[in-house]
Amino acid sequence: MKIAILSRNKNLYSTKRLVEACDKHDHEPIVLDVLRCYMDIAPSKPEVHWKGGRLPSFDAVIPRIGASVTFYGAAVLRQFEMMGSFPLNESVAITRSRDKLRSLQLLARKGVGLPSTGYAHDPDDIKDLIKMVGGAPLVIKLLEGTQGIGVVLAETTKAAESVIEAFMGLKAHIMVQEYIKEAGGADIRCLVIGDKVVAAMKRQALPGELRSNLHRGGSASTIRITPEERATAVKAARIMGLNVAGVDLLRSDRGPLVMEVNSSPGLEGIEAATGKDIATLIIQFIEKHAKPNQTRTRGKG
């Protein structure tokens, strides 16, 4: 199969591993910088061009689209979908998961466990917003933040009010969540492919640090997850419409709580922690499911 990998940097670990897995299975991978792709949006014959020429049709497309280029990247992926390529994750599912507020609303509507979450616009509503999520300590998150950037733990009500007021003063979009003390600064990253959790790791934050992201110095180790955690991760990925997802869970006294569903989960940390060849499992999923014109949402949304 001809497989396009949409990635800004061919030297990134995840991109290199996907290329290796394609080569191992005798496919033809090509890494495309999504920002160098441009489109001829024609009703009869949509095309994608790259570096001065028209790209051939691809059997499948693996989107590794960074959060900062979601809008343009999703438009390029949508064009490939119009051309009949099989997307590992569909453009609609990616944009849905990247909108943190929308994704939580979709999960809540389907009854998935979540930390209590509040969202407001007016500074006059801050006191009630804090009360709504159970008071301090609480977590304040920038909606546009990634890899743990823009996440603040406010340990007192006064600190929470000050931070929220500051963010609102900067016209930043934030949400406020309850602090799950019993999680102990750890979360669980479940790697979902299709309808299975194929790997899971525990991410532990540094002492005194809230964020367990590996980019923020957190450590990773293997973990045995419960059937409830497994089912929650698979359900969350399905609700988002993602074939491949990194679902981040917190262990709480009331069961697993979903923090986030990531449409482009990094492979380095979880492959190192679990010893599993995730890249090959992704290619095997494509081999099994890739058929022309199989995009379910076909331009909706």
Mean pLDDT of the chain: 90
* Radius of gyration of the chain, Cα coordinates, nearest whole angstrom: 20
Which residues share a beta bridge with 191?
A: 199, 246
Please name the residue ranges forming H helices in the chain: 13-24, 70-82, 91-98, 100-109, 126-132, 157-169, 227-240, 268-274, 278-289
Fold of 117-179: Dna Ligase; domain 1 (3.30.1490)
Would you state the pLDDT for residue 298?
Answer: 40
Quote the pLDDT of residue 212: 53
- Round to whole Å and give the CA distance between 19 and 279: 9
Can you give the pLDDT at residue 84?
Answer: 92
pLDDT for res 115:
94
Domain spans in the chain, listed from the N-terminal domain onward: 2-96, 117-179, 182-285
Distance CA 156, CA 164 (A): 12
2-96 and 182-285 share one fold: no
Tokens read off for 54: 């028209």
pLDDT of residue 183: 87
**Domain 2-96 annotated CATH 3.40.718.10:** no
- 133-144 pLDDT, tens digit per residue, is 999 999 998 887
Low-confidence ranges of the chain (pLDDT < 50): 298-301
Instruction: Tell me which CATH code domain 182-285 carries.
Output: 3.30.470.20
pLDDT score for 145: 62
Ordered strands of the 219-222 beta sheet = 219-222, 196-204, 186-193, 244-252, 255-262
Residue-wise pLDDT tens digits, 24-61 = 999 999 999 999 999 999 888 899 999 999 999 899 99
